[in-house]
């Protein structure tokens, strides 16, 4: 019978080592005994950007990028988007199971009763300049919540964790809405806890002089589904930031602020904004073939919203978003950019360049068009992403804290700087630049 091991021969010494293979992985620490002599630190795995390193064992989200598959706790995203609600999904991600009726009622009650912010947070938001980016405001105010709930640092206490989880899921939309209203110069709207999670968010964003805001059911449902689609995506850049900062036992507000900061980057949460800019630049259907040619020859930009590090097939979230678009446009009127997007997709999916490289629409290709039709300015796009992703960040954080194998995240490095040298007093340094002497050495 085949053994679940890997034999490694070190050609520097001629020695052979046998390393256990578990779940198709080897432990990087099993490489450490591979040394040329006793003084040697031992072999390290070098993996910039973690392209082939599993940093944890996780039971939350499964992705099969070759087949376009995404499951939360085993449930296909298509079923969840069609049948579930965002708060149910938050429970699923955090507790591993869909809630029973009684659990669901209690869960929703707890979240809707933590939506208000301390009045001082308002003052903090008012301190930002009128043109501050809402994502910068969200990152700052998430971190600031840590100062209002100092008990949150007791991260090993399950009851304390439970409370902060409610607060973070409940208060993130309020922080986001305050940031939006501030950038528009509009008064802040307090939460209406009789509305749904998405409905209340729309209320805090868009209510004007009406005594009671009535969210449009189609837009409320579309937003809820968009939150579901963004709720988790396993070990992406922001989830990794949440886990990494949380591993120092920082409180969840500071860890979530770090995760939101990671999301702010254009390579992560900012691509849908780039899609909108690209569609506007193309301007009309007749310009699509010329644009595709420019992408292929490398003269122009990439086709934004296409391609993914993990998905080498149609991103399942993009398929669902495309279906939501029609429902939103029935209310908002058709966004003319949709026709350009559809034509881009039609041509690209038949073109050898895109087919050969397995480039398909990703989640960002259609989401920006929908957000724009719903009345969101582009700067709010990553903020919407952050609201949806909060339960995923918290689930990843909690799983990390409960995992006995995890410790403070602390990667190794390959040192390529100078070998040891002695300090030279200023008067003896001369004027010529010092030569770079490099040596590669693993850090101990």
359 binds ligand ACO (CB under 6 A): yes
180 within 8 A of 134, measured Cβ to Cβ: yes
Span from 140-148, 165-173, 238-246, 355-363 in contact with ligand ACO (CB under 6 A):
355-363
408 within 8 A of 247, measured Cβ to Cβ: yes
DSSP β-bridge partners for residue 75: 72
- The least distance separating ligand ACO from the CB of residue 222, rounded to whole angstroms, comes to 18
294 binds ligand ACO (CB under 6 A): no
27 binds ligand ACO (CB under 6 A): no
121 within 8 A of 423, measured Cβ to Cβ: no
Return all residues near 205 (Cβ < 8 A) that are at least 6 apart.
177, 180, 181, 189
Q: Exposed, middle or buried: residue 47 (CB in 10 Å: 0-12, 13-18, 19+)? A: exposed
273 binds ligand ACO (CB under 6 A): no
Q: Considering just the CA atoms, what is the radius of gyration of the chain in Å?
A: 25
- The least distance separating ligand ACO from the CB of residue 354, rounded to whole angstroms, comes to 7
Of positions 220, 273, 364, 379, contacts ligand ACO by CB under 6 A: 364
CB-nearer residue toward ligand ACO: 124 or 229: 229
CB-nearer residue toward ligand ACO: 95 or 268: 268
End-to-end alpha carbon distance in the chain: 39
- The least distance separating ligand ACO from the CB of residue 369, rounded to whole angstroms, comes to 14
- The least distance separating ligand ACO from the CB of residue 233, rounded to whole angstroms, comes to 7
Of positions 134, 305, 368, 382, contacts ligand ACO by CB under 6 A: 305
Residue 18 backbone phi and psi in degrees, to 5:
-115, 125
Span from 90-98, 173-181, 199-207, 295-303 in contact with ligand ACO (CB under 6 A):
295-303
271 binds ligand ACO (CB under 6 A): yes
Of positions 166, 197, 201, 306, contacts ligand ACO by CB under 6 A: 306
Q: From 95, 221, 222, select the one nearest 166 (Cα to Cα).
A: 95
Pairing state of beta strands 75-76 and 69-72? Answer: antiparallel
Of positions 43, 168, 258, 295, contacts ligand ACO by CB under 6 A: 295
> Which residue minimizes CB distance to ligand ACO?
307
> 380: how many CB neighbours lie within 10 A of its CB?
24
363 binds ligand ACO (CB under 6 A): yes
Q: From 9, 35, 31, select the one nearest 20 (Cα to Cα).
A: 31
345 binds ligand ACO (CB under 6 A): no
228 within 8 A of 221, measured Cβ to Cβ: no
Residue in the structure block whose two tokens are 């392209």? 51
Residue in the structure block whose two tokens are 């500071």? 254
Q: How far apart are CA 20 and CA 42, in angstroms?
A: 17
Q: Which residues form the catalytic set? A: 268, 308, 364
Of positions 252, 307, 316, 388, contacts ligand ACO by CB under 6 A: 307
Span from 122-130, 139-147, 151-159, 300-308 in contact with ligand ACO (CB under 6 A):
300-308
320 within 8 A of 81, measured Cβ to Cβ: yes
- The least distance separating ligand ACO from the CB of residue 41, rounded to whole angstroms, comes to 31
Ordered DSSP codes for 97-120: SPPPHHHHHHHHHHHHTT----HH
268 binds ligand ACO (CB under 6 A): yes
Q: How far apart are CA 194 and CA 242, in angstroms?
A: 31
- DSSP E strands in 188-247: the ranges are none
288 binds ligand ACO (CB under 6 A): no
241 binds ligand ACO (CB under 6 A): no
DSSP β-bridge partners for residue 184: none
Span from 19-27, 183-191, 306-314, 329-337 in contact with ligand ACO (CB under 6 A):
306-314
277 binds ligand ACO (CB under 6 A): no
- The least distance separating ligand ACO from the CB of residue 357, rounded to whole angstroms, comes to 4
360 binds ligand ACO (CB under 6 A): no
Of positions 58, 200, 203, 362, contacts ligand ACO by CB under 6 A: 362
- The least distance separating ligand ACO from the CB of residue 380, rounded to whole angstroms, comes to 16
In the complex, the residues that contact ligand ACO under the rule CB under 6 A are 268, 271, 295, 302-309, 357, 359, 362-364
């Amino acid at each position: 019978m085949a053994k679940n091991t890997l034999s490694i021969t070190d050609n520097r010494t001629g020695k052979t080592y046998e390393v256990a293979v578990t779940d198709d992985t080897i432990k990087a620490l099993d490489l450490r005994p591979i040394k040329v002599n006793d003084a040697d630190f031992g072999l390290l795995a070098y993996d910039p950007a973690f392209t082939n390193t599993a940093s944890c064992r996780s039971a939350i989200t499964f992705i099969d990028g070759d087949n376009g598959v995404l499951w939360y706790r085993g449930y296909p995203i298509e079923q969840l988007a069609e049948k579930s609600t965002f708060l149910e999904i938050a429970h699923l991600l955090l507790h591993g199971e869909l809630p029973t009726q009684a659990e669901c009622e209690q869960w929703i009650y707890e979240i809707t009763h933590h939506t208000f912010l301390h009045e001082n947070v308002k003052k903090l938001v008012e301190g930002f300049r009128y043109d501050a980016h809402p994502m910068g405001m969200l990152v700052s105010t998430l971190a600031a919540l840590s100062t209002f709930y100092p008990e949150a640092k007791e991260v090993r206490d399950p009851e304390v964790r439970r409370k902060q989880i409610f607060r973070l899921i409940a208060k993130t939309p309020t922080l986001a809405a305050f940031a939006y209203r501030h950038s528009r110069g509009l008064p802040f709207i307090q939460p209406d806890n009789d509305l749904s999670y998405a409905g209340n968010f729309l209320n805090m964003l868009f209510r004007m002089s009406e005594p009671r805001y009535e969210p449009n059911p189609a837009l409320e449902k579309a937003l809820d589904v968009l939150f579901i689609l963004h709720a988790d995506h396993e070990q992406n850049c922001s989830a990794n930031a949440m886990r990494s900062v949380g591993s120092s036992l920082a409180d969840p507000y500071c860890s979530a602020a770090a995760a939101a900061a990671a999301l702010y980057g254009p390579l992560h949460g900012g691509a849908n904004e780039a899609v909108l800019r690209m569609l506007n630049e193309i301007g009309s259907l007749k310009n699509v073939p010329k644009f595709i040619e420019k992408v292929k020859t490398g003269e122009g930009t990439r086709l934004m919203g296409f391609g993914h590090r993990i998905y080498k097939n149609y991103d399942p979230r993009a398929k669902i978003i495309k279906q939501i678009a029609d429902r939103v446009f029935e209310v908002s009127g058709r966004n003319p950019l949709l026709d350009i997007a559809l034509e881009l997709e039609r041509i690209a999916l038949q073109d050898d360049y895109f087919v050969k490289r397995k480039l398909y629409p990703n989640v960002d290709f259609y989401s920006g068009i929908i957000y724009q039709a719903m009345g969101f300015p582009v700067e709010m796009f990553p903020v919407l992403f952050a609201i949806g992703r909060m339960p995923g960040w918290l689930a990843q954080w909690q799983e990390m804290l409960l995992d006995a194998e995890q410790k403070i995240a602390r990667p190794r490095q390959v040192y390529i700087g100078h070998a040891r040298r002695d300090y030279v007093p200023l008067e003896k340094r001369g004027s010529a630049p010092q030569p770079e002497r490099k040596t590669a050495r693993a850090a101990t």
